[in-house]
Amino acid sequence: MGEPGDKHAISIADHGAIGNLETIALVDKAGTIDYLCWPCLDSASVFARLLDSDKGGHFSVEPDLPGANLVQMYLPETNILLTRWMANSASIDLVDLMPVGNDVENAPPRLVRRLTCTRGAATIRVRCAPRFDYAAAGRNATVTTNGADVSRGRFDHECGLALALHGAASLVADGCDLTAEIALREGDTVSLILSNPDDVSLDTDALDAIVEKDIAYWRTWSRQSRYRGRWRETVERSAMVLKLLTSRRHGSIAAAATFGLPEAPGGVRNWDYRATWIRDSSFTVYALLRLGFQSEAVDFLHWTMDRAQACSKGHLGVMYALDGGPIADERALDLAGFEGASPVVVGNEAKDQTQHDIYGALLDATYLGTKYGEPIAHDSWMAICRIVDQVCETWATPDSGIWEVRGPKKHYLHSRLMSWVAVDRAVRLAQKRSLPAPLVRWSEVRTAINEDIWANFWDDDLGHFVRAIGDAPEDKAVDGALLMMPLVRFIGPTDPKWLATLEAIGKDLSDDGQVYRYKIDDGLPGREGTFVACSFWYVECLARAGRLNEARWNFEKLLAHGNHLGLFAEEIAQDGSFLGNFPQGFSHLALISAAFYLDRALDDGGPKAWA
């Protein structure tokens, strides 16, 4: 296995994700945690080896078993990760989890690593090397006390991080790091707990109880799923990823676990996705509701309505911090970047953009939330009315679009489409729930948007819909976001004009079923990979069009591009490696939607559907 500092030992795909609904850690196949922000997902990093293999910080556990085979899996129906080293002389199991804190009220955040020797004997080298404040600060480590079977150490930093080793071994301070060498024989178990200084005195029985309760928590949650179709384990793993991205404390939903992972190799497309995008989170709600998970939808809609009620004119931000606060301005970090992709930035300047499509996503989620979750409250409906009134006033103005292009605003088809969705779902909701609303005016606007799309975005000469209004080649191109047209029921999935557009997308944007967002010059250097969400949208569009053989084949190939645990990043490079932040909610929610529809279509189509 590679040394912790080996630049060639790290890939995005070689990771599993664990979390406690407050933050997420990434564990690579060799048992090293090389990404963790503490104590919250949008806090500064303490381990960031994934973004700088020299100084980012890591937490490694390395059995002295040269040539051992490595196996990594999730404990069934949980977000608890098992890594196994298997050699002729011995085998070692490592269980990694971040308990959700259901053992006591307001339990502090914990990272628990449990090592068990299942056969033979081996020595395990441990190094906990945090680098605080995005690796800007490394503090001295000290071993504070030693008990009969507990060794404790702490790191001199304001976040108050401490490490406890439960077992027959001692921690040693090595500059900024804590290290240990642990000799294990068959049946021995030791535990390493990273937590607050006042939380490292847990005894073995308490640790056992915490682990068992965490297993029970995840299995109870996952068994709420009503999905019984094909690819069930894959779908439910995607749901588990989406759950990891939710905030238990706030009800918000992060777009991804990480910042700074590049969308183009070695380039500058290195964004911070540790925030709640109204669009992404609303789509997440839709995916979870389809599977039967209602509480997450209700919690997010409450969180969003709090934001909406604070906006007197119905204007929501594109994104928010997980606690509902503002997103910081972008700033560059002193990190080398994944495979040299720099600058690595935190914060996100897209927060200041205008993106009309967010309201359609939110209203669609609200409509479904009231249908499958709980009725909408009066104050929330008043906030929705202000939002829809604002959409009615602004839908015909240009914006930055779903892809957050950092250039001049344009009139994008997807933005028009989702503005139509916003008004349409509001009209439907008011009618179904007998809610007060200016239905005549809203209906007139809905019709006007529909007519505008057909008049300005259908190109007779090209024979398909185009991405934007304008005469430039990039305006006349197709765009992966157009795949949403039948998915939001604007156009029939077998309408000849839609089928012509689907054909153009397949020709211009698809690479063996993997779909690019676009192939235009967006003003930034570097070539992106195929966009995983667009690829799954394409599958769903094929299935809705009745092209079931092609849809299933593309879907199965896409699943093969997931990592060894069924996780996806944002994009896939031409060589099959992962690009972009990871794990990415957008990718997994689109997988769920595609599987849900394709499975139903295959059943309806009968045995000949895959003949």
- Does 327 reside within a domain? yes
For residues 396-413, give the mean pLDDT: 94
Is residue 324 very low, low, confident or very high in pLDDT (cuts 50, 70, 90)? Answer: very high
- Residue 206 predicted with pLDDT over 70: yes
Is residue 4 very low, low, confident or very high in pLDDT (cuts 50, 70, 90)? Answer: very low
User: Do 29 and 10 form a contact (C-beta atoms < 8 A)?
Assistant: no
Element containing residue 81 per DSSP (H, E): strand 81-86
Q: Are residues 193 and 238 in the same domain?
A: no
pLDDT digits (tens, 9 = 90+) for 109-120: 999 999 999 999
User: Do 346 and 333 form a contact (C-beta atoms < 8 A)?
Assistant: yes
Q: pLDDT at position 609, please?
A: 44
For residues 574-602, give the mean pLDDT: 97
- Alpha carbon distance 375, 57 (integer Å): 47
Place of tokens 């906006």: 311
Q: pLDDT at position 138, please?
A: 66
User: Do 450 and 442 form a contact (C-beta atoms < 8 A)?
Assistant: no
Which of 156, 181, 199 corresponds to the end of one domain?
Answer: 199
- Alpha carbon distance 464, 497 (integer Å): 6
- Residue 611 predicted with pLDDT over 60: no
User: Do 255 and 569 form a contact (C-beta atoms < 8 A)?
Assistant: no
Q: Are residues 301 and 179 in the same domain?
A: no
The DSSP-derived string for 215-228 is HHHHHHHHTT----
Is residue 402 very low, low, confident or very high in pLDDT (cuts 50, 70, 90)? Answer: very high
Nearest Cα neighbor of 532 from 560, 553, 499 is: 560
Q: pLDDT at position 3, please?
A: 41
- Does 209 reside within a domain? no
Nearest Cα neighbor of 516 from 477, 567, 556, 543 is: 477
- Alpha carbon distance 89, 83 (integer Å): 17
Is residue 21 very low, low, confident or very high in pLDDT (cuts 50, 70, 90)? Answer: very high
pLDDT digits (tens, 9 = 90+) for 29-51: 999 999 999 999 999 999 999 99
Q: Are residues 233 and 193 in the same domain?
A: no
Residue type, position 325, single letter:
G
Q: pLDDT at position 102, please?
A: 67
User: Do 418 and 361 form a contact (C-beta atoms < 8 A)?
Assistant: yes
- Does 356 reside within a domain? yes
User: Do 546 and 604 form a contact (C-beta atoms < 8 A)?
Assistant: no
Beta strands 276-277 and 150-155: pairing type? unpaired
- Residue 150 predicted with pLDDT over 90: no
Q: Which long-range contacts (CB under 8 A, 24 or more apart) does 509-513 make?
A: 509/478, 509/479, 509/480, 509/534, 510/538, 511/574, 512/557, 513/538, 513/539, 513/553, 513/554, 513/557, 513/558
- Alpha carbon distance 197, 287 (integer Å): 39
Give the angle subtended at the CA of 26 by the CAs of 21 and 58, to the nearest 5°: 120
- Alpha carbon distance 574, 511 (integer Å): 9
- Alpha carbon distance 276, 402 (integer Å): 15
pLDDT digits (tens, 9 = 90+) for 81-133: 999 999 999 999 999 999 997 666 677 899 999 999 999 999 999 999 999 99
For residues 191-214, give the mean pLDDT: 85
Q: At what angle do helices 585-605 and 232-244 cross, to 10 degrees?
A: 150
Q: pLDDT at position 128, please?
A: 95
Quote the distance between the C-alpha of residue 504 and its chain's center: 29
Q: pLDDT at position 147, please?
A: 61
Q: Are residues 242 and 133 in the same domain?
A: no
How many angstroms separate the Cα of 414 from the Cα of each of 307, 427, 524, 530, 575? Answer: 24, 20, 21, 19, 30
- 463's torsion region: left (phi>0), alpha (psi -120 to 50) or beta? left
Which of 159, 184, 199 corresponds to the end of one domain?
Answer: 199
For residues 461-486, give the mean pLDDT: 97
Q: Are residues 32 and 118 in the same domain?
A: yes
Residues with Cβ within 8 Å of residue 249, at least 6 apart in sequence: 21, 22, 323
- Does 602 reside within a domain? yes
For residues 406-435, give the mean pLDDT: 96
Place of tokens 């406890």: 164
Range of the domain at 86: 7-199
For residues 583-604, give the mean pLDDT: 97
Q: Are residues 195 and 344 in the same domain?
A: no
For residues 156-164, give the mean pLDDT: 82
Entry pTM: 0.95
- Mean pLDDT of the chain, nearest integer: 93
The DSSP-derived string for 319-331 is EE-TTS-PPPPPE
Q: Are residues 375 and 412 in the same domain?
A: yes
For residues 448-463, give the mean pLDDT: 98
Other CB atoms within 10 Å distance of the CB of residue 170: 16
- Does 279 reside within a domain? yes
Quote the distance between the C-alpha of residue 224 and its chain's center: 21
Quote the distance between the C-alpha of residue 499 and its chain's center: 31
- Alpha carbon distance 219, 77 (integer Å): 5
Burial of 353 (0-12, 13-18, 19+ CB in 10 A): middle
Q: Are residues 163 and 242 in the same domain?
A: no
For 195, phi and psi rounded to 5 degrees? -165, -165
pLDDT digits (tens, 9 = 90+) for 520-540: 888 788 889 999 999 999 999
Nearest Cα neighbor of 191 from 177, 214, 174, 208 is: 208
- Residue 23 predicted with pLDDT over 90: yes
Q: pLDDT at position 241, please?
A: 98
Structure tokens at 409: 């605003």
Give the angle subtended at the CA of 403 by the CAs of 427 and 467, to the nearest 5°: 75
- Alpha carbon distance 178, 127 (integer Å): 6
Residues with Cβ within 8 Å of residue 342, at least 6 apart in sequence: 268, 270, 332, 335, 336
User: Do 304 and 364 form a contact (C-beta atoms < 8 A)?
Assistant: no
- Residue 6 predicted with pLDDT over 60: no
- Alpha carbon distance 431, 439 (integer Å): 8
Structure tokens at 155: 């790191």
- Alpha carbon distance 608, 611 (integer Å): 5
Q: Are residues 126 and 261 in the same domain?
A: no
- Does 57 reside within a domain? yes
- Does 409 reside within a domain? yes
Q: pLDDT at position 532, please?
A: 98
Q: pLDDT at position 7, please?
A: 41
Q: What percent of the chain has pLDDT above 70? A: 96
- Residue 456 predicted with pLDDT over 50: yes
Structure tokens at 532: 């995983």
Q: Are residues 341 and 380 in the same domain?
A: yes
- Alpha carbon distance 220, 78 (integer Å): 9
Give the angle subtended at the CA of 245 by the CAs of 242 and 249, to the nearest 5°: 125
How many domains are there within the chain? 2
Q: pLDDT at position 104, please?
A: 63
User: Do 511 and 535 form a contact (C-beta atoms < 8 A)?
Assistant: no
Q: pLDDT at position 200, please?
A: 63
Is residue 608 very low, low, confident or very high in pLDDT (cuts 50, 70, 90)? Answer: very low
Q: Are residues 354 and 492 in the same domain?
A: yes
127 bridge partner residues? 60, 179
Domain at 37, CATH number: 2.70.98.50
Domain at 599, CATH number: 1.50.10.10
Beta strands 514-515 and 510-511: pairing type? antiparallel
Q: Are residues 426 and 507 in the same domain?
A: yes
User: Do 132 and 48 form a contact (C-beta atoms < 8 A)?
Assistant: no
Higher pLDDT, 7 or 191: 191
- Does 37 reside within a domain? yes
Give the range among 3-12, 270-279, 404-413 with minimum mean pLDDT. 3-12
Q: pLDDT at position 9, please?
A: 56
